[in-house]
């Protein structure tokens, strides 16, 4: 069975655009591999296809039976990496903290350790280690 760290290294080496980043990699039963990528400015189908074409032969050298999907995580998916917060500066998100509190606000800053959030009442700085879940609030 293929290991996630092995796939992660293959994907990292295949990314040819500095704006693309890995959000998550899942290796399921029967070597069903799903690679979730995102990109500042938005990930295109062409981006997914290009990365798929690059990593498929690399994985095929390690394992002859596998299924590979390369995709974006989707607008309603929870944030998993700091780059998703950074990409969405200026957007409103909902955060559930590990202590159970829910906070809504607009991201004003994001780095590798924490985000700054403007709520209706105050400006907050929240370390990622305090966040249980976070996702974008979609407005139509």
What percentage of the chain has pLDDT greater than the value 70? 100
Span 68-84, pLDDT tens digits: 999 999 888 999 999 99
> Residue 26: which of 68, 54, 83, 64 has the closest Cα?
68
Max Cα–Cα distance, the chain, nearest Å:
56
Instruction: Please report the pLDDT score of residue 64 as a whole number.
Output: 86
What percentage of the chain has pLDDT greater than the value 90? 89
Instruction: Please report the pLDDT score of residue 74 as a whole number.
Output: 87
Q: Which residue has the higher pLDDT, 18 or 9?
A: 9
Contact at 8 Å (CB) between 22 and 35? yes
Q: How far apart are CA 99 and CA 81, in angstroms?
A: 20
pLDDT band at 16 (very low <50, low <70, confident <90, very high): confident
Residue 1 has pLDDT above 80, yes or no: no
Q: How far apart are CA 104 and CA 106, in angstroms?
A: 7
pLDDT band at 39 (very low <50, low <70, confident <90, very high): very high
> What integer is the mean pLDDT of 45-65?
95
Q: What is the mean pLDDT of the chain?
A: 95
> What integer is the mean pLDDT of 1-23?
93
| SS3 at position 6 | helix
- Domains belonging to the chain, first-starting first, are 4-71 (3.30.300.70), 82-136 (2.30.30.100)
Cα Rg for the chain, rounded, in angstroms? 17
pTM of the model: 0.90
> Residue 52: which of 92, 93, 13, 14 has the closest Cα?
14
> What integer is the mean pLDDT of 56-61?
96
Instruction: Please report the pLDDT score of residue 52 as a whole number.
Output: 97
């Amino acid at each position: 069975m293929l290991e996630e760290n092995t796939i992660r290294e293959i994907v990292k080496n295949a990314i040819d655009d500095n704006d693309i980043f890995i959000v998550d990699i899942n290796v399921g039963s029967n070597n069903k591999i799903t690679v979730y990528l995102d990109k500042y400015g938005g990930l295109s189908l062409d981006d997914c296809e290009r990365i798929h074409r690059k990593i498929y032969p690399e994985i095929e050298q390690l394992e002859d039976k596998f299924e590979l999907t390369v995709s974006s995580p989707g607008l309603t998916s929870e944030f998993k990496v700091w780059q998703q917060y950074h990409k969405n500066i200026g957007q409103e998100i909902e955060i559930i903290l590990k202590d159970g509190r829910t906070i809504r606000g607009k991201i004003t800053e994001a780095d590798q350790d924490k985000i700054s959030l403007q709520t209706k009442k105050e400006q907050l700085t929240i370390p990622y280690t305090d966040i249980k879940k976070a996702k974008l609030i979609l407005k139509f």
